[in-house]
Chain A
């Protein structure tokens, strides 16, 4: 158990809909990362937050947004869903993002499997 909790585990929805994925980081971790894994793309970095502020952005679509709350949990919002958004969405957390933080491993949750029909 990595200590990172993601809910829900499975989500089935229709095209055009909006969903929210939730992540609770490990106790004491201030940084949260979101990744997408689809069959043909591998693990793709979406976005990173540190202590409530956005710190880095990857290939995140404009239809997607995220935030990190004062209690450090994070939500990933996916809107106007398309069939191609079907994927596993992983959240990870680490202790810090600053100089020397490369020495702090990321710990991943077990993901949310999103199916868009």
Chain B
């Protein structure tokens, strides 16, 4: 699976949009971009995933560049409860498709 690069930490003001970047320049054509977050030692929580197109759900939006070498997770109105470590993961489309977690981005939402 392709490796990802994320900033180790970011701050965001409460109520503002949080934009979390991720680079995955070696991504292959059948690999998906997944985002998870982990809040204080709880189990990782699935947020969103995509292959080529931008995706949106009730939690967030995922913007994938046209060349697929990078993506951005957008939390439109961050709250204090969004403070967590966010993981960007590239995952293969076929068998043996576990998630490989890197260091992630520690997002701190401040009042």
Contacts and interface: CB of A to CB of B under 8 A. Distances in A.
7 contacts: A33-B99, A43-B38, A58-B98, A98-B94, A100-B94, A102-B30, A110-B42
Contacts of B32: 102-103
Judged by DSSP, the binding face of B is: loop
Chain B interface residue number, banded: 20 to 34
B43 A99 contact: no
B46 A105 contact: yes
A101 interface: yes
Contact of A88 (B41, B46, B49, B51): B41
Given A43-B101, A90-B43, A106-B46, A98 B34 contact: no
Nearest to B95: A97
Contact of A102 (B41, B45, B97, B100): B97
A109 interface: yes
